[in-house]
């Protein structure tokens, strides 16, 4: 399964960033050309090589709209983790970034007959691989998941569906938690989608790729090439007609808020659940839907933190004044279980 | 079925206000002492007595927290309707106010094994009775329903479930469209509800009656006297534990927003759908939930009007600067079908 | 002053649409090439020609971003007014649309050393001209002002500064009532503005013209060609530095919310004040700022109506299901004083 | 000036909590019976007694609606500070809680001819006293101010008016930053205030004391006993008439948002500015006004953090999962300047 590890040079701190390629068996049936070989970027803390200690693991789902940036993990990410350990923001941990992007952008972390079984891939392949190949603390209490933007959606979704695996969840500015002020159907070009001849054509439309990825995750239909989706709306003259049944199915399968009731007890079983979002996001739907999401979590009595901060999304996650350093790592420090011998106030 | 009509004196305008009592067969199984005999207040326009014209009907569900006020219908309501006809805001109509209050306040217009089959009562008894006893235009295109506060909830709910009967809907400041900023479970006194010995005891608690009425409509349980409800929360020390399954069932049965998907095509079939709410309502949950409700209606492409106005609820519905006169009647004038011979621009 | 009337053909209804050109003396000092000759489109109701009746006047400030469209006034506007009179939505009125657009878009209806004295032009020239040339009821109680978008801003502003002239105000989706979620300074291209050589260059920038028009109204500076404005921000590397003093001056001169305290008693003296806005405006700043504006009016106890409706701005003002017909004209009907002999319930 | 120090027993950690009484010269002219002797609770970190180190100081303004609780400072506050130092959340600091409550609740931290010169007291007496009597780092870069609720108001206000003294500011759930959804004038009982005979009578009215304290700070009038305030509203029959001029003066003197323009450059000069608030506060005006406050700070380009969190105000500040531990102290750790020899990663 493992195609080849790439060991990076040891830096001064003694930490390492290891790259791995993993062939996803659950991804082989994809109809849209998904590459089944996925990259993992694995941060191993200083001293990993010459100790017998086991470490908690934080899985990280990056925003799939950006390329999976190995240099980021080797550089800024490693520096932030090194420094957080040095300043006792968190004890030594393993950090694993997983590439789950699809040709259209996002897998949305679901099992889809069109794009691949991403949920299975994560739960049955990625985590077992990491636990087998690195000295992890292999229980939910020591395993967390975080993500950014669409990756934040994934982190919450895995917390809903697999709390037996991920005990602590942090989502940075998640999207897809609910609908917003503007309707979802108002974004795609329905005339284009109704008459499309090839998957590539959606790339010419402003919201074409992102919404097709949403539909392939939420309303897949293997019998309808080339997009393999059911259409939520149909053009009628200058306007569109909304298909109520497809809309309901789309909402039920895609929006996290619709799943809260079903997975409420799972979410309550988490050791820690937190998400945040930027108040001044250019897309206020993200703000509106996250506000609605925290309200609905509260209706079910699900403990969580939900912070709206001053700023715009995407500028401030990394760096030592970024939210990973100031928020995410301290949150995992409070909720993950570390080995007894590991002591945060005595980092070295 | 009719226990006795009461004909009021003809006033100067020539209109009449007739009171009727109707025994609801669907209400006889109530476990909480519901009176099966319900009042109807029927406004008949000027000239009704000496013409062969048939008229559209507007059904009206008043706020059940106030007593069913016959004097209001004889007085201010009749004056507003008379004046609206005189000033051509609307053509001549029949207006029927129906008393659907229960001992705990509100029936929520559902079929409940605990409080009575209110939906059936309206659809199978009230409307047929009115069509049989008055010269109505007995089709959906000429039949509308309006309501105030909880009655507004009812108006929308009947529009969802019986669009074959009510073609046009107007809800004044509806409640129960969705949850809000504060959790529903934070209102009731769960220690009281968990140990209660008689239905009367809920009346001692600030939110006791209103929430018990909600639970009897949404999560009824005939095997659990004296409240006959499942409990959404259980006191545990100084806090409460939320039952996820009961919460989900409560939301699915009670909140109008959860029903949009199921009834979307019904709502689309309406000739007119409108609701409004006061921005400065002391309970901002009503504002928040109505905002969320209109957004979700839009997600399904359901045409409707949804206006948020400056003011507080309850002060301004009647009178000639009230919203019934300035908003509700003109809306029905635009959407109800009147007899061909009836002409709005020639009111007499 | 009058350069030449243009009498349109009488249509079936008997109403007329008259075009006039008025040379604004207060506009002659403009530094940016403002045309001092302004168009008026004057609707005269049916029967105007052969009666001695005097009529109330509704002034109308159209959105200046669209061209002053004579065909609109001759066509749809005249039809809507004709029909509203025919259906008794309002009694016969004179309606006067005034073109106050500038080369950069909007005059913002202020006296500016850069763009012209628009406030004076309206109050000292337009209104006296109309009162002198048409059979108006020339008092504030019979004179109203309405406007759309930026024109709505103007309508409210004239209600603030000249309630002795305009007794009733209706603003359709006004902008500029306050700042919003996104900062004003984040819109313009400050590098461009800092180094600009000619006024025309701002037209190449997405928000260039609109913001320059705002600055010429709010922070004019006759000594700084070619824009004649003080700069609120200065580029510093990749970011900008905000000038606090210019920002304060801009807000004080431009945003309507900052003027509420100063003009509160003027606003209270109005016979009617109303504005509305579309909830789903693509620019949520307009929604946010209008919500804040109504809240602040309430803080000063200023009676007004403020309705937020389902929809987007700009699609629905004209036509017989448009807001002018359903909202604006009925509002003026309730607040303007008509001649005693004129009777709304007997429109002809 | 110092009336008597009270040295508490040394606890295990080695830290101390010292109580001091300070007679405020600027408070002696109060007309409402303000006690000029104010308590200070001074936390001195472990090792203070036997070292020559100088420490940064965090001033803390508690919510004045609760009594100044010495036991809290001796107990939970000392424990939280001890632990934060032990876990390297922050280096050793001095922490000074100041009692600025008045007989009606809050001084609002202003110079008032009615309640005392609280601004002067803080700046000219408290801080110099602390710098003279304890080994402080006596510059703005090492001096911060925090506060809770009304105390949060004070912290921001001192940051506005005295940035030369306080270089870093953190406000926990501040109030009074702006007006909200409900009008300020709707709270007090204006009939009571118009006819009041003694200051004590306001205590019988639900909002009597809090609003009188606001008016004494914002619209004081030494010539109008017994409240010494100008009245914003006057009862007229069943309604009230709002005095526009008093309302404007009240807003200008009291609401922090009105002062942003004047003090924008002061705020920009701060090393750190942060406030937060609880989303589910029972008074949504606090949420609304803090949202508006951060938006307006952004309009002036004032760097700051502004976080809205899931929860209600007042339950979670102290304790090791409270916001002082998780948010406030780490924020000061990032922005205060400590002595070179002091090193956070080597706390002992």
Alpha-carbon distance values, A189 to A224, A304, C4 (Å): 18, 37, 49
User: Looking at residue C249, what DSSP letter applies?
Assistant: H
User: Looking at residue A339, what DSSP letter applies?
Assistant: P
Per-residue pLDDT at D43: 98
DSSP lists the bridge partners of residue B41 as B19, B97
Contacts of residue A299 in chain B, CB cutoff 8 Å? 179, 183-185, 247, 251
HEC assignment per residue over C38-52: EEEEEEECCCHHHCC
Q: Is the pLDDT of residue C111 over 90?
A: yes
Alpha-carbon distance values, B14 to B9, B51, B325, B341, C339 (Å): 9, 12, 19, 20, 30
- pLDDT tens digits along A130-179: 999 999 999 999 999 999 999 999 999 999 999 999 999 999 999 999 99
| Contact between chains at D279 and B181 (C-beta distance less than 8 A) | yes
Question: Across chain B, what does the average pLDDT equal?
Answer: 92
Residues 6+ apart with CB under 8 A from C237: none
For residues B125-132, give the mean pLDDT: 98
Q: Is the pLDDT of residue D341 over 60?
A: no
Of D88, D306, D321, which is closest to A345 when you measure between CB atoms? D88
Contacts of residue B233 in chain A, CB cutoff 8 Å? 301
Per-residue pLDDT at D3: 36
For residues C5-11, give the mean pLDDT: 37
Per-residue pLDDT at D342: 47
Give the residue numbers in D contacting C (CB under 8 Å), as ranges: 179-181, 183-185, 233, 240-242, 244, 247-248, 251-252, 261-262, 264-265, 268, 288, 292, 295-296, 298-301
Report the DSSP pairing between strands A168-172 and A272-278: parallel
Of D182, D279, D282, which is closest to B280 when you measure between CB atoms? D182
For residues B263-285, give the mean pLDDT: 97
Hey, of D236, D254, D295, D296, which one would you mutate to test binding to chain C, going by the most C CBs within 10 A of its CB? D295
| Contact between chains at C181 and A282 (C-beta distance less than 8 A) | no
Per-residue pLDDT at D347: 34
Nearest Cα to C240, choosing from C231, C249, C250?
Answer: C231
Measured CA to CA, the distance from residue C187 to residue C205 in angstroms comes to: 10
In the block, tokens 């008043």 appear at B62
Per-residue pLDDT at A314: 75
DSSP lists the bridge partners of residue D335 as none
Per-residue pLDDT at C344: 44
Measured CA to CA, the distance from residue C147 to residue C153 in angstroms comes to: 7
What is the interface pTM, i.e. ipTM, of the complex?
A: 0.93
Contacts of residue D282 in chain B, CB cutoff 8 Å? 182
- pLDDT tens digits along D224-246: 999 999 999 999 998 999 999 99
Measured CA to CA, the distance from residue A315 to residue A321 in angstroms comes to: 11
Of C87, C305, C310, which is closest to B294 when you measure between CB atoms? C310
Nearest Cα to B169, choosing from B148, B192, B191?
Answer: B148
Contact A166, A140 (CB under 8 A): yes
Q: Is the pLDDT of residue D343 over 50?
A: no
Report the DSSP pairing between strands A116-117 and A111-112: antiparallel
Per-residue pLDDT at D12: 64
Contact C222, C110 (CB under 8 A): no
Per-residue pLDDT at B341: 53
Could you tell me which chain B residue has the CA closest to the CA of C335? B321
DSSP lists the bridge partners of residue D235 as D240
| Contact between chains at A306 and D310 (C-beta distance less than 8 A) | yes
pTM of the model as a whole: 0.94
Contacts of residue C181 in chain A, CB cutoff 8 Å? 279-280, 284
Hey, of B13, B292, B310, which one would you mutate to test binding to chain C, going by the most C CBs within 10 A of its CB? B310
| Contact between chains at A184 and B299 (C-beta distance less than 8 A) | yes
| Contact between chains at B182 and D279 (C-beta distance less than 8 A) | no
Half-sphere exposure of B174 (CA within 13 A, CB side): 34
Per-residue pLDDT at A183: 95
Per-residue pLDDT at A320: 82
Could you tell me which chain A residue has the CA closest to the CA of D345? A87
Contacts of residue A252 in chain B, CB cutoff 8 Å? 261
Q: Is the pLDDT of residue D5 over 80?
A: no
Report the DSSP pairing between strands B94-98 and B6-7: unpaired
**How many contacts does A have with B, using Cβ atoms within 8 A?**
71
Q: Is the pLDDT of residue D348 over 90?
A: no
In the block, tokens 């949850």 appear at B179
DSSP string, D62-73: --TTS---HHHI
Kindly state the percentage of chain C with pLDDT values over 90. 86
Measured CA to CA, the distance from residue B199 to residue C325 in angstroms comes to: 52
Per-residue pLDDT at B12: 64
- pLDDT tens digits along C51-110: 899 999 999 999 999 889 999 999 999 999 999 999 888 999 999 999 999 999 999 999
Per-residue pLDDT at A125: 98
Report the DSSP pairing between strands D143-148 and D116-117: unpaired
Tokens of B32: 């909480």
Q: Which chains touch A (3 or more CB pairs under 8 A)?
A: B, C, D
Measured CA to CA, the distance from residue D31 to residue D227 in angstroms comes to: 9
- What b/e sequence results for D202-222 when a residue is b if at least 16 CB atoms lie within 10 Å of its CB, and e otherwise? beebeebbbbbbbbbbbbbbe
H or E element that contains D19: strand D16-23
Could you tell me which chain B residue has the CA closest to the CA of C321? B334
Could you tell me which chain B residue has the CA closest to the CA of D284? B284
Tokens of D230: 């100008």
Nearest Cα to A158, choosing from A251, A270, A38?
Answer: A270
Angle at CA of residue A48, ends A44 and A54, nearest 5°? 90
Q: Is D159 helix (H, G, I), strand (E, B) or coil?
A: helix
- What b/e sequence results for A52-66 when a residue is b if at least 16 CB atoms lie within 10 Å of its CB, and e otherwise? eebbbbbbbbbbbee
Report the DSSP pairing between strands B168-172 and B272-278: parallel
Of A181, A182, A280, which is closest to C182 when you measure between CB atoms? A280
Report the DSSP pairing between strands D101-102 and D94-98: unpaired
Measured CA to CA, the distance from residue D306 to residue D275 in angstroms comes to: 5
Per-residue pLDDT at D10: 37
For residues B229-252, give the mean pLDDT: 96
Angle at CA of residue C322, ends C320 and C328, nearest 5°? 105
Cα C320 to its chain centre, rounded Å, is 22
Low-confidence ranges of chain A (pLDDT < 70): 1-12, 315, 341-348
Supply the angle between the helices D284-299 and D260-268 in degrees, to the nearest 10.
70
Question: Across chain D, what does the average pLDDT equal?
Answer: 92
Report the DSSP pairing between strands C111-112 and C116-117: antiparallel
Q: Which chains touch D (3 or more CB pairs under 8 A)?
A: A, B, C
**How many contacts does B have with C, using Cβ atoms within 8 A?**
51
Half-sphere exposure of B288 (CA within 13 A, CB side): 20
DSSP string, A185-223: GGSS-HHHHHT--SGGGGGGSTTHHHHHHHHHHHSB-TT
In the block, tokens 């924008």 appear at D264
Of C181, C279, C282, which is closest to A280 when you measure between CB atoms? C181
Measured CA to CA, the distance from residue D302 to residue C309 in angstroms comes to: 34
Give the residue numbers in C contacting B (CB under 8 Å), as ranges: 86-88, 279-280, 291, 294, 298, 304-310, 321, 326, 330, 334, 344-345
Could you tell me which chain B residue has the CA closest to the CA of A180? B295
Residues 6+ apart with CB under 8 A from D15: D43, D44, D45, D46, D48, D78, D81, D82
The shortest C-alpha distance from C77 to chain B (Å) reads: 20
Per-residue pLDDT at A56: 98
Q: How confident is the model at residue B204 (pLDDT cuts 50, 70, 90)?
A: confident
Q: Is B85 helix (H, G, I), strand (E, B) or coil?
A: helix
Tokens of C326: 């359903």
Per-residue pLDDT at C8: 35
Measured CA to CA, the distance from residue D189 to residue D204 in angstroms comes to: 10
Contact D295, D192 (CB under 8 A): no
Least confident of B64-68, C272-276, D18-22: B64-68
H or E element that contains B116: strand B116-117
Measured CA to CA, the distance from residue B45 to residue C263 in angstroms comes to: 47
Per-residue pLDDT at C12: 64
User: Looking at residue B270, what DSSP letter applies?
Assistant: -
Contacts of residue C284 in chain A, CB cutoff 8 Å? 181, 284
Measured CA to CA, the distance from residue C277 to residue C281 in angstroms comes to: 8
Contacts of residue B306 in chain C, CB cutoff 8 Å? 279, 309-310
For residues B185-200, give the mean pLDDT: 94
Residues 6+ apart with CB under 8 A from D335: D144, D167, D168, D271, D272
Measured CA to CA, the distance from residue D160 to residue D293 in angstroms comes to: 13
User: Looking at residue D49, what DSSP letter applies?
Assistant: G
- pLDDT tens digits along D96-113: 999 999 999 999 999 999
Measured CA to CA, the distance from residue C95 to residue C57 in angstroms comes to: 6
Contacts of residue A181 in chain C, CB cutoff 8 Å? 279-280, 284
Contact C155, C169 (CB under 8 A): yes
Q: Is the pLDDT of residue D9 over 80?
A: no
Measured CA to CA, the distance from residue B335 to residue B329 in angstroms comes to: 10
- pLDDT tens digits along D248-304: 999 999 999 999 999 999 999 999 999 999 999 999 999 999 999 999 999 999 999
- What b/e sequence results for D51-74 when a residue is b if at least 16 CB atoms lie within 10 Å of its CB, and e otherwise? eeebbbbbbbbbbbeeebebebbb
Measured CA to CA, the distance from residue A333 to residue D113 in angstroms comes to: 51
Q: Is D28 helix (H, G, I), strand (E, B) or coil?
A: coil
Of D307, D326, D344, which is closest to A308 when you measure between CB atoms? D307
Least confident of A189-198, A248-257, B311-320, D6-15: D6-15
Contact B144, B336 (CB under 8 A): yes
Per-residue pLDDT at B243: 98
- pLDDT tens digits along C17-62: 999 999 999 999 999 999 999 999 999 999 999 889 999 999 999 9
Q: Which chains touch C (3 or more CB pairs under 8 A)?
A: A, B, D
Higher pLDDT, D317 or D8: D317
């Amino acid at each position: 399964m493992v195609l080849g590890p790439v060991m990076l040079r040891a830096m001064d701190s003694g930490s390492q960033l290891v790259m791995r390629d993993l062939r996803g068996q659950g991804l082989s049936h994809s109809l849209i050309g998904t590459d089944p070989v996925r990259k993992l970027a694995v941060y191993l803390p200083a001293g990993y090589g010459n100790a017998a200690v086991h470490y908690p693991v934080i899985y990280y789902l990056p925003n799939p709209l950006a390329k999976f940036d190995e240099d980021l993990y080797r550089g800024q990410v490693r520096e932030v983790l090194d420094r957080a350990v040095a300043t006792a923001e968190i004890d030594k941990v393993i950090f694993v970034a997983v590439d789950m992007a699809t040709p259209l952008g996002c897998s949305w972390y679901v099992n889809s007959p069109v794009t691949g079984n991403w949920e299975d891939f994560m739960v049955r392949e990625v985590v077992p691989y990491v636990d087998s190949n690195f000295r992890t603390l292999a229980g939910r209490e020591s395993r967390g998941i975080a993500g950014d933007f669409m990756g934040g959606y994934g982190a919450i979704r895995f917390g809903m569906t697999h709390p037996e695996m991920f005990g602590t969840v942090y989502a940075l500015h998640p999207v897809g938690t609910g609908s917003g002020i503007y309707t979802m159907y108002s974004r795609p070009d329905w005339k284009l989608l109704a008459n499309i001849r090839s998957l590539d054509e959606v790339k010419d439309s402003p919201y074409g790729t992102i919404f097709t990825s949403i539909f392939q995750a939420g309303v897949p239909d293997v019998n309808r090439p080339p997009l393999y989706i059911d259409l939520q709306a149909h053009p009628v003259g200058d306007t569109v007609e909304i298909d109520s049944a497809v809309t309901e199915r789309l909402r039920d399968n895609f929006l996290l808020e619709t799943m809260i009731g079903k997975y409420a007890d799972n979410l309550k079983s988490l050791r820690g659940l937190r998400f945040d979002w930027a108040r001044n996001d250019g897309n206020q739907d993200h703000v509106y839907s996250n506000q609605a999401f925290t309200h609905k979590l509260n209706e079910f009595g699900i403990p969580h933190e939900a912070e709206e901060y001053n700023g715009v999304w995407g500028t401030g996650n990394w760096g030592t004044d970024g939210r990973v350093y100031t928020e995410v790592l301290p949150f995992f420090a409070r909720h993950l279980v570390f080995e007894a011998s590991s002591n945060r106030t005595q980092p070295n």
